[in-house]
Copies of this chain bind each other. A is one copy, B any other.
Amino acid sequence: MTEQPQNLPDRPDIARIFGEVLQELRRARGLSQEEFGFECELHRTYISLLERGKRIPSLTTIIQLATALKVPPSEIVRRVESRLGWPIEKSHTEMRH
């Protein structure tokens, strides 16, 4: 077993980066927060809180958002982990410093 790079990011970072990714995906679909909230059956205020990194979504919420965005939920998480600099196993020999 290899040594584990235990660089777990802070919660505020996770929330902030998730919010950035969510906002980008929403804008890419040309939706306002209100229209998007309607699509995913979530309140516009909650969308705004998520985008500003003030709330952390549950897996259910991620799936709800992804359905409205028409992207796989794993793609949203992949974008978040990529920005967090997740140490993906298959590339741990070429990890950035």
A residues within 8 Å of B by Cβ? Answer: 4, 6, 8-9, 11, 14-15, 18, 56-60, 62-64, 67, 70-75, 77-78, 80-81, 84, 86, 88-89
Are B56 and A59 in contact, CB atoms less than 8 angstroms apart?
Answer: yes
Choose one: B6, B57, B86; the contact of A72 (CB below 8 Å).
B86
Are A74 and B71 in contact, CB atoms less than 8 angstroms apart?
Answer: no
Are A74 and B78 CB-contacts (below 8 A) given A11-B60, A56-B60, A64-B8?
yes
Considering the chains assembled together, what is the distance between the CA atoms of A4 and B62 in angstroms? 17
Considering the chains assembled together, what is the distance between the CA atoms of A81 and B62 in angstroms? 11
Are B14 and A63 in contact, CB atoms less than 8 angstroms apart?
Answer: yes
